[in-house]
Amino acid sequence: MNYAEILTRLGIGEADLAGGSLAVRTPIDGSEIAKVPELAPEKMADVIATSKAAFKKWRMVPAPRRGELVRLLGEELRAAKDDLGQLVTLEAGKIFQEGLGEVQEMIDICDFAVGLSRQLYGLTIASERPGHRMQETWHPIGPVGIISAFNFPVAVWSWNAALALVCGNPVIWKPSEKTPLTALACQKILEKAIARFGDDAPAGLSQVVIGGAALGEALVTSEDVPVISATGSTRMGRIVGPKVAERFGRSILELGGNNAMIVSPTADLEMAVRAIVFSAVGTAGQRCTTLRRLFVHDSVYDQLIPRLVKAYAGVPAGNPLEQGVLMGPLIDSDSFDRMQGSLAAAKETGATVHGGARQLEDKFPNGYYVTPAIVEMKSQEQVMKDETFAPILYVMRYSDLDDAIDMQNDVPQGLSSCIFSTDVRETEAFLSDAGSDCGIANVNIGPSGAEIGGAFGGEKETGGGRESGSDAWKAYMRRATNTINYSRELPLAQGIKFDID
């Protein structure tokens, strides 16, 4: 495939890459596909000033009109779906079907946000004072900083940008240094939509900044960026969260996941196997919602695990752009090394490891392809509690559902979870106050592949943030409570008397 042709069709030309210093390598074979210019950290002040100026104009554009821009963005994404999906595969290494799915997720959130632009509802509140009325109103808040990770290089931006834009805010996007080309492509696609939208869109409504940690520091610490949405590791969140909180900013954190599935005695095992393989192997185990821990009831363990081991052995790995491939490479050698370190630590506990070795090294000497690993554990050791961003599935037996739920919850992360069962008492217990402590809790589907209609995010070390659907839009706006006195009197709340002669 001629990678340059994809970039050209997406609007990325030589001028966009001139003077580039950041090497972009495809995980498919490790080759360099471009060099991208980086922004000097001292230039971030100019970027933020431009965004502030854009905010003053954009906040005055009626919300339904702002929604029209996002509708046009959705149209442009539909037109560019195949090319952008291929670029996602090229840069992040996920299979082409997943690349297409990620772009479809962008289209879906645009559709959601267009409707939302006419539904930024407040409340009417009863007042205790006669002749008074109370209401709650929502207003644009200001520039929104978006920091995204390599594994979903475009969808996470769209979750934030689509909502931020209809809510009246400009956006500043710092993508992962591993996937800057997809960010440049999205900016070009949005610029096409803006050109069709017209003069209501101010300059600087959306800006992409590419660089390292110092650039992120300048964005995170700026008091002129009231909202920072950051997706990445828990380690990153421990840095970003306090810095934003120190200046009384608002952070939306989407951090680590260590997601589990419980397979009960009544589970449909055929469905469970399919869900397990997709959830644990998809994106080569590099989703925040990847299935990492599996708790299987004693009565079905010996039926399920051999079927899983057989299914894992048959997962076709290779160039993720090729049809029929279900698993592409890890993002880089560091990810491979972390995977091997976790498998070694598991073996030291007495675990039985199936798979996990490097493969296709002869064909892709600089690509890090692995066989997915199933690790049969005797107990939930520390290695299970630490998230490893790789296709490792830790498996354990259980005999009591309460114990399985306790083990599921006994990790620092709290993103996604699920149970496979046809017993309504078990499924309701799993979803109850005493059940899963995760932000996402599913029944008879895996933990991976969330739809945009629900709020996405998790608890504990996952950061507590929510993005995408439901009422996640409220994080991108400021709330005001208004009291209107339409009487000729001035009664005080709580019946207080304060008379002046």
Q: How many residues does the chain have?
A: 501
Q: Is the pLDDT of residue 35 over 70?
A: yes
Q: Is the pLDDT of residue 2 over 80?
A: no
Half-sphere exposure of 380 (CA within 13 A, CB side): 20
What is the average per-residue pLDDT within 70-85? Answer: 98
Question: The domain 39-255+463-482 is classified under which CATH number: 3.20.20.70, 2.40.240.10, 3.90.180.10, 3.40.605.10?
Answer: 3.40.605.10
- Write out pLDDT tens, residues 283-299: 999 999 999 999 999 99
What is the average per-residue pLDDT within 157-179? Answer: 98
Q: Are strands 227-231 and 206-208 parallel, antiparallel or unpaired?
A: unpaired
Q: Is the pLDDT of residue 1 over 80?
A: no
- Write out pLDDT tens, residues 251-309: 999 999 999 999 999 999 999 999 999 999 999 999 999 999 999 999 999 999 999 99
- Write out pLDDT tens, residues 227-243: 999 999 999 999 999 99
What is the average per-residue pLDDT within 412-433? Answer: 98
H helices, E strands: number in the chain: 16, 23
- For 182, 267, 390, 404, 441, the CA distances from 418, given in Å and listed in that order, are 32, 12, 20, 12, 5
Closest CA to 413 of 434, 437, 396, 395: 437
Query: What's the pLDDT score for residue 500?
Result: 87
15 membership: H or E segment, kind and range: helix 14-17
Residue 501 pLDDT class (50, 70, 90 cuts): confident
Domain boundaries, the chain: 39-255+463-482, 259-443
Q: Is the pLDDT of residue 43 over 90?
A: yes
Burial of 36 (0-12, 13-18, 19+ CB in 10 A): buried
- Write out pLDDT tens, residues 428-448: 999 999 999 999 999 999 999
What is the average per-residue pLDDT within 85-95? Answer: 98
The CA-based angle 287-290-296, given to 5 degrees, is: 175
Q: What is the CATH number of domain 259-443?
A: 3.40.309.10
135 membership: H or E segment, kind and range: strand 132-140
- Estimate the crossing angle of helix 180-197 against helix 63-79, to 10 degrees: 120
What is the average per-residue pLDDT within 151-174? Answer: 98
Query: What's the pLDDT score for residue 153?
Result: 98
Say if CB 401 and CB 429 are below 8 A apart: yes
Say if CB 86 and CB 6 are below 8 A apart: yes
- Estimate the crossing angle of helix 155-166 against helix 96-116, to 10 degrees: 10
Q: What is the pTM of this model?
A: 0.97
Q: What percent of the chain lies above the pLDDT cut of 70?
A: 100
54 membership: H or E segment, kind and range: helix 44-58
What is the average per-residue pLDDT within 325-339? Answer: 98
What is the average per-residue pLDDT within 319-337? Answer: 97
Give the C-alpha separation, 346 to 344, whole Å: 5
Owner of token pair 């003077």: 19
Say if CB 412 and CB 401 are below 8 A apart: no
The CA-based angle 155-366-177, given to 5 degrees, is: 35
Catalytic residues: 254
What is the average per-residue pLDDT within 186-203? Answer: 98
Compute the mean pLDDT over every residue in the chain, rounded to the nearest whole number: 97
Give the C-alpha separation, 371 to 314, whole Å: 10
